Amino acid sequence: MSWHYYYKDDVLGITEVTDRVQEGWAENPGTQGLVMNAEEGTVGTSQIVLEDPDGDLVIHGHRLFYVTEDLTLGDVHAGQIYVGFTAEHEYSRREDKRLGLMRIVTVTLRDINTIFERRVGNG
């Protein structure tokens, strides 16, 4: 069982960012806290850290971010375990023993319930 992380951008389409997810997430993702709320339309907020050693990852706000599990035998939607949107993001630098100096992106995620807060204009 492994998780796969995807980011959907209007320009690049769907990009798998699994290899960019910081090490702690890949080994034990369940305890890191991708929060989804189901109570009265409240919005769950999470953060995820993506490693960007080449500096080529561009994150935009309010773009689809989802996580799937690979044990689903052919059914694309059965394996989705998280669906949300990107919100605030922060770029920073840090020293890494494996890769040297690199850029990291801390992304705030809001679950799919954020859609309920949108107003629909009529007329």
Asked if residue 7 lies in contact with residue 15, where contact means CB atoms within 8 angstroms, the answer is yes
User: Sheet holding 13-16: strands in order across?
Assistant: 13-16, 3-9, 64-69, 80-96, 100-111, 45-52
pLDDT of res. 114: 78
Strand-pair partners of 13: 9
Q: Does the pLDDT of residue 7 top 90, yes or no?
A: yes
More confident residue, 112 or 28: 112
pLDDT of res. 15: 92
For 67-111, write each residue's pLDDT tens digit. 888 776 566 566 788 899 999 999 999 887 776 788 999 999 998
For 13-59, write each residue's pLDDT tens digit. 999 999 998 876 545 555 457 888 877 778 888 889 999 988 899 99
Report the run of H or E that residue 26 belongs to, with start and end. helix 23-27
DSSP symbol at 118:
P
